[in-house]
Amino acid sequence: MSHRRALLLMVVVTLLWSSAGIVSRQLESARPFEVTFWRSAFTALTLLLWWGLREGRAGLAPLLHPSKALWASGLCWSVMFTAFMVAVSISPVAQVLVVMALGPLMTALLAWGVLKQPLPLRTLVAVGLAGAGVAWMFGGEAKPGLGALVAVAVPVAASINWIVLQRMGRSDAPVSLPHAVALGGLISALATLVLAWPFSASAGDLLWLAFLGAFQLAFPCTLVVHLTKVLSATEVALMAQLELLFGVAWVWWLAGEAPGSNTLAGGGLVLLALFLNELRRRSAPEKSS
């Protein structure tokens, strides 16, 4: 896959990730922990059915592989699936999003320390601009609190996950890391089952939650596993910031909530950061992987 195609697919990934906000607006009675439970459960169910129908037992066998990388990635996915919903249930969403903007910086530092990837000035500037852009978008509404501590788990888990995926994805180890997404869904569902009980979601809610499980998590998360074979961990973390911009666009388009000047200015900084980080590709021939 070419680098350009991988970038375009990463845009698709963030577009699907960003649908959570507008879809959540359609829920009638499901509570936050119940949303987390059903979304994670439907994520795992979607992938298990897909692999089972396509390949039978062979499609499910990788889940039993005694691999540290598989379990490490699965645990990271479970934290990412769970911590965000826990954080937004006890804190303003803006506060959580500002904390999550630390992801690219954490990933760049981990890539430098673990994968020995260089930290060019261009990337550091892009990371700083992206973080400043998110802070500009939501900083006025963000206040320190317990939710911020919980929210830190999201960029930490994501950063570790991108490093694990890139390191193992470019090796010859016989590990199916897309299966870690299903494993993460199962762990997240089990972890939130008690808090989600008793269930109150309506039939309509379950349909929307099934959509989130299949198209907001299962498909894009397995796709991003494959993209880490081409994109660097830092690129994945930076591109993931597009989720915030698309999320704003969804509610603007479908809910009529026009963004304010701070949101537009901050979003422009995020886009500028992504452009600057990829600018070097214009002067270098594209390589296929």
Per-residue pLDDT of the chain (289 residues; tens, 9 = 90+): 788 899 999 999 999 998 888 888 888 888 888 999 999 999 999 999 999 888 888 888 888 876 888 999 999 999 999 988 888 777 777 777 778 888 888 998 898 888 888 888 888 888 888 888 888 877 666 666 677 788 889 999 999 999 999 888 666 666 788 999 999 999 999 999 999 999 998 999 999 999 999 999 999 999 999 999 899 998 999 899 888 888 888 878 887 777 777 778 888 888 888 887 776 555 444 444 3
CA distances from 127 to 4, 93, 154 (A): 20, 21, 17
Cα–Cα distance, 120 to 98 (Å, whole number)? 24
SS3 content of the chain, % helix, strand, coil (to 5): 80, 0, 20
Token pair 């550091």 is found at 124
Cα–Cα distance, 108 to 14 (Å, whole number)? 19
How many other C-beta atoms lie within 10 A of the C-beta of residue 254? 12
Check residue 202 and give its pLDDT: 92
Structure tokens at 44: 């795992």
Cα–Cα distance, 22 to 81 (Å, whole number)? 17
Nearest CA among 88, 84, 66, 64 for reference residue 76: 84
